[in-house]
Structure 1
Amino acid sequence: MWVDHYLPHWTTPDRSAARYENTPEGLRLRIEADQPDWREEDAPLRVSNLQTGTFSGARGSTRGTHRHREDGLTVRTPTPTRLLWAPTAGRVDITVSATRDAGCMVAAWLVGTEHESAEHAGEICLFEIDAGSIGTTTRARCGLKAHGDPRLVTDMAEVEVPLDASQPHTWTAVWGDGETTIGCEGVTVRRLQQAPDYPLFLMLDLFEIGRPGGSYPKTATFHHLRGWADRGPSR
């Protein structure tokens, strides 16, 4: 159900490959000292990611999942269309321990596959948690990003949750019928009157943003994940 590369079509396999391990506590994503930047143009930026499918156009084209920037992303490694889990509506619960490693961020997103249309590009951001935002309470970003979908309006907000996010805790997204709800530990933190209505891939991410430093590996652990697909080309 998982592809262990971060948006592999926009870069090369040695740069997109995730570093990770299975542990008794769950799946641990790692950033390691010898890990290359995702793309040379984006340096310094290193990432380990798992995602539930792939899609791209031909080499040199601009077609592909998650055209999250408009500054020259072109396909370098064509990838097949793989809809391993791509619901158009549903629910996902993710239990995670975020990293406290300086310069790092842990995130979970549902992103439009774009295999049917380049306008199917919206994103549900369950959470983006910077290491520096974790304490006895934690600040996180969540909401919707329109990207290339003209029917959506970007609506992101920072929320504060009353927990230390480096300890196991659960985020939930429920979406469909024009509404998206995001919660943390059973408490709703965002309710938005819009939702993507096309296939979405799930992405789990650990980023190191900025110049490398400190001790390695830098890690975040995903303890448990469960998803329900109300409809769509998922299996």
Structure 2
Amino acid sequence: MEDNFSAPTLRQDLWVADYLPHWTTPERSRARYELAGAAGLRLLIEQDQPDWREEDAPLRVSNLQTGVFSGPVGSERGTHRHRPDGLTVRTETPGRLLWAPSSGRIDVTVSASVDDGCMLAAWLVGAENLSPQHSGEICIFEIDATAIGKSETRARTGLKAHGDDALVTDMVEVVVPVDASRPHTWSVIWGPEGTVIGCEGVVVKRSQWAPDYPLLLMLDLFEIGPRSSTAGAYPKSASIHSVRGWDGPL
């Protein structure tokens, strides 16, 4: 799988431009983005963008993901049941697993946001189409705007078990010697021997655990907290320059 977002439109065979649309409504899940030619794709948070769910406000998200799955309206079946407070399906979403490897490698080149209240993240999450137990997550990175410096950046990385009893949550905060607002590459390799996560070719996290079921890739820009009141603060943005993935044991 490879995409540098140079096509004139977003690839419908690879991306769902909504953030977990089954747990909310279409106008709230829909991503704001623009294709920027050789620079890739810019995820945007715009001033009129609604909160993802009223219950989670203030929280706005623009996201790309490589598939989606949900049960019927009112059920608790759906990809990424990441909250313990009773998520139920509001918009039934036909299952589409456009790219959902159970093991493999991903390289993603990004420029993170330095805008107030923003976080850029890349996750692999269990599709849960085969079983609700398949809910683990590989957090490739989470980068807060406030954690970005000119010579180094703090990021969170590792694994989150969520509802998978076979996994252990194993998250760490790491410092990488890059200005994350500029293009840089994160990588993950996972399979029967565990999970390895790196930044710019340097390993930052190893874990003996790895999910062994279909995972969807999610690329997310969040604005967390009240809307900015500063004139000209919007749109807030982060760039996804390219994504490459290999499916299967390496």
Q: How high is the TM-score relative to the length of structure 1?
A: 0.97
Instruction: Give yes or no for contact 1:103–1:210 (8 Å, CA) kept in 2.
Output: yes
Structure 1 counterpart of 2:59: 45
Answering whether residue 238 of structure 2 is matched by residue 224 of structure 1, we say no
1:114 to 128, 134, 159: 128
2:164 to 142, 145, 149: 149
- Give the number of equivalent residue pairs: 231
Answering whether residue 216 of structure 2 is matched by residue 201 of structure 1, we say yes
Matches within 5 A, 1:19-168: 19-24=32-37, 25-135=39-149, 136-168=151-183
Indicate the percent of aligned positions where both proteins have the same amino acid. 70
Deviation at 1:83, TM superposition (A): 0.8
1:7 to 10, 16, 20: 20
SS at structure 2 position matched to 1:208: strand
Aligned Cα RMSD in Å?
0.7
Deviation at 1:181, TM superposition (A): 0.3
Instruction: Give yes or no for contact 1:109–1:202 (8 Å, CA) kept in 2.
Output: yes
Q: Which amino acid aligns with 1:102?
A: D
SS at structure 1 position matched to 2:35: strand
Structure 2 counterpart of 1:16: 29
Runs of 4+ that moved beyond 6 A: none
Gaps of 5+ in 2: 1-13
**Mapped partners of 1:218, 1:183: distance in 2:** 27
Q: Which amino acid aligns with 2:179?
A: D
**Mapped partners of 2:116, 2:142: distance in 1:** 15
Gaps of 5+ in 1: none
Deviation at 1:178, TM superposition (A): 3.6
Deviation at 1:72, TM superposition (A): 1.9
2:194 to 150, 154, 179: 179
Instruction: Give yes or no for contact 1:127–1:141 (8 Å, CA) kept in 2.
Output: yes
SS at structure 2 position matched to 1:117: coil
Q: How high is the TM-score relative to the length of structure 2?
A: 0.91
